[in-house]
């Protein structure tokens, strides 16, 4: 980059107490990529509290060769820090290199931390090979009914991204003993067939159908 002194300033900038300074440092690193900054960027992702800075850190990582970042990011998926895992997944989904697919484990897809799980769902649908889609759909379906509206919408979008192959999986889930699973499955069916339908409306409609003893399979 600009020499040893500037490199030191940028490394210090990534740790600065002021978020604007950290943002500026991440921007500078991404503007002129240098392999020596990959580790510091990934380390900062694990602890960075500011969303905008995290997005800039991800952008800076994307600017480096995937052959150098992907192995380090997949290693980060084994971190005990939830933010380290979720941010690494987020970055991998943005890079889109399918060599990362084997690292998207069932443990991540069902992680107890909602942000990790959500990031894993997004990464999985971005990276999954065609022949692995049925198994991914099966694992994602085990998460139906989980969390609040925002998390449920994220899962619905991930399932819908897999395409028509999820129809049978959703149909099976509409008869689940858990009403939350049934509601979520029916709402996802609605969104699959009508992408413009609001999720809140789809959930309320699903509740109405279940209350009337239906499974949402009639349409």
Residue matched to tokens 């380290």: 84
Q: Does residue 7 sit within a domain? A: no
Q: Does residue 23 sit within a domain? A: no
Burial category of 43 from C-beta neighbours within 10 Å (exposed 0-12, middle 13-18, buried 19 and up): middle
Q: Which domain holds residue 173?
A: 134-219
pLDDT, one tens digit per residue, over 122-147 is: 999 999 999 999 999 999 999 999 99
User: Structure pTM?
Assistant: 0.87
| Phi, psi angles (nearest 5°) of residue 140 | -60, -35
Q: Does residue 142 sit within a domain? A: yes
| Least-confidence region, from 162-171, 191-200, 205-214 | 205-214
Structure tokens at 113: 């931390």
Sign of CA dihedral 156, 134, 100, 103: positive
Q: Does residue 9 sit within a domain? A: no
Q: How far apart are CA 10 and CA 52, in angstroms?
A: 17
Q: Does residue 89 sit within a domain? A: no
Q: Does residue 25 sit within a domain? A: no
| Phi, psi angles (nearest 5°) of residue 122 | -65, -45
pLDDT, one tens digit per residue, over 3-54 is: 788 889 999 999 999 999 999 999 999 999 999 999 999 999 999 999 999 9
Count of alpha carbons within 13 angstroms of residue 81, beta-carbon side? 14
Q: Does residue 90 sit within a domain? A: no
Q: Residue ranges of the alpha helices (H) in the chain?
A: 4-13, 19-31, 38-45, 51-62, 66-76, 82-95, 106-109, 114-127, 133-141, 149-161, 167-173, 179-193, 199-211
Look at the chain and report how many structural domains it folds into.
1
Q: Does residue 151 sit within a domain? A: yes
């Amino acid at each position: 980059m600009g020499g040893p002194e500037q490199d030191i300033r940028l490394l210090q900038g990534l740790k600065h107490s002021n978020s604007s300074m950290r943002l500026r440092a991440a921007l500078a690193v991404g503007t002129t990529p240098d392999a020596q900054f990959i580790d510091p960027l990934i380390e900062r992702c694990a602890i960075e509290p500011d969303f905008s800075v995290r997005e800039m850190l991800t952008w800076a990582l994307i600017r480096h060769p995937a052959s150098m970042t992907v192995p380090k990011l997949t290693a980060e998926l084994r971190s005990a820090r939830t933010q380290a895992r979720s941010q690494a997944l987020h970055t991998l989904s943005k890079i889109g290199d399918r060599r990362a697919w084997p690292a998207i484990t069932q443990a991540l897809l069902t992680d107890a931390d909602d942000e990790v799980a959500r990031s894993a769902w997004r990464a999985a649908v971005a990276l999954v090979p065609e022949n692995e889609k049925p198994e991914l759909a099966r694992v994602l379906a085990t998460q139906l009914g989980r969390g609040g509206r925002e998390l449920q919408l994220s899962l619905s979008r991930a399932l819908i991204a897999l395409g028509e192959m999820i129809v049978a999986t959703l149909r099976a889930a509409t008869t689940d003993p858990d009403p939350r699973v049934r509601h979520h499955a029916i709402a996802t069916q609605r969104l699959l067939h009508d992408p413009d339908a609001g999720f809140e409306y789809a959930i309320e409609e699903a509740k109405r159908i279940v209350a009337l003893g239906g499974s949402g399979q009639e349409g």
